[in-house]
Amino acid sequence: MVREMRINHETIGTGADVVLIHGLTDSPYSFRTIGEDLRARGYYVVAMRMPGHGTVPAGLTDVTWEDWLAAVRVGARHVRSTIGERKPLILVGYSNGGALVLKYAFDALEGSGDPQADRIVLLSPMVGVQPLAWLARVISMLGPVPAFEKARWLDIYPEYNPFKYNSFPANAGLQTWRLTTTLQKQIVRAASAGLGSKVPPVLTFHSLVDATVSTPAVVHSLYDVIADERSELVLFDINRASGLVPFIQPADATLLSRLTDASPRKYRRTLITNLDPSSLEVAERSVAPDATTLNLRPLGLAWPRDVFSLSHVAIPFPLSDPVYGRDETVGPSTTIRLGLLSPRGERAVFSVPADTLMRLTCNPFFAYMDDRLMAWLEGGRVKQP
């Protein structure tokens, strides 16, 4: 298992231990920029590769979420033994990795014996999957039947992405369903046991609209249940000035009003949204814990005119990423520039769905997110003897 870690032994400094856990079908590349920024600030960083990833998609046909959690435990124990007890242990999880670090943290609170996390950062966390994901459970059960061999796969596409599987085994969907349902029950159990004050502070960055995981689950099944004044939820709104709002499904266009209301909440709520409905400029609208007063801060950032929202896969990547970014000033790449694809032409021509190629793959507000993440970690970085 240790061979599946990418460890930089030159980063043992005065910072903290950080374990980075990527998402389902992804790889440690998801944390390329965040990991490098942490390392430059003196943090000791381990970016792990989860079992079944980084080889071929068939690696996910028989892996379990318990295998992934075991790898997280190995990583946390490694960094704790390397750095020592006095420095904070920080867990950062993206997508399915977010569910795994939460599961690890709650297990530690309930007596697993593993090092307890001091802070948790979540990017597009898989607290709940989209409603139809449970079908993977039914489909995967048909896989062992010879006549239904293809049922082991929900999607089979050419593997053109160098750092992420494009094909998707049914078992992978089944494991996310098992993990998220187990996690949600554990969150409720921990809250009922009065462990809320012992849960590490959580900072989450999440797109309001997300086709992979459930945004309402992040709000209602995690934050509204267990979070307190030490935690913050940052939501990225849709681009209200894109001119494309009339084409957005009404349920998604009105999702924000269903997730927020005028009543105070125990945790800090932050929305990144248009400065006004006619402007591409964005602002941070934040409400402090147990308050209702809205604080507005222009960010000096703007939506790209052709982008109507973020996406699940875009959150961890800056515009400058050589694979997923949109920055055309970046030097030549030896791989396909997925972030620059904007296909226009006849339909039913591609070997993959056109909307897959058009999905936003980078975050125009990554610089804001990165700054907020680093500042939040610095606030809890030094432990007293």
What is the secondary structure of 335-360 as a DSSP string? S--GGG----S-SS-SSS-HHHHHS-
Q: Please give the pLDDT value at position 196.
A: 87
Cα 129–Cα 135–Cα 140 angle in degrees, nearest 5: 110
Query: Residue 88: CB partners within 8 Å, gap ≥ 6?
Result: 16, 17, 118, 119, 380, 381, 383
Catalogue the E-assigned strands of the chain: 5-7, 17-21, 44-48, 89-94, 119-123, 153-155, 168-169, 202-207, 232-236, 268-274, 281-287, 294-302
Q: Which two tokens stand for residue 122?
A: 């979540």
**Residue 5, SS3?**
strand
Cα-Cα-Cα-Cα torsion 21, 22, 27, 33, nearest 10 degrees, comes to: -90
Whether the CB-CB separation of 376 and 329 falls below 8 Å is answered with no
- Other beta carbons within 10 angstroms of residue 82's beta carbon come to 13
Backbone angles phi, psi at 51, to 5 degrees: -55, 140
Domains along the chain with CATH numbers: 2-129+171-319+365-378 (3.40.50.1820)
Instruction: Name the nearest CA neighbour of 344 among 318, 385, 306.
Output: 306
Instruction: Name the nearest CA neighbour of 254 among 307, 219, 209.
Output: 209
- Other beta carbons within 10 angstroms of residue 301's beta carbon come to 16
Residues of the chain with pLDDT under 50: 1-14, 134, 136-138, 142, 145-148, 381-385
Q: Please give the pLDDT value at position 340.
A: 85
Q: Please give the pLDDT value at position 147.
A: 41
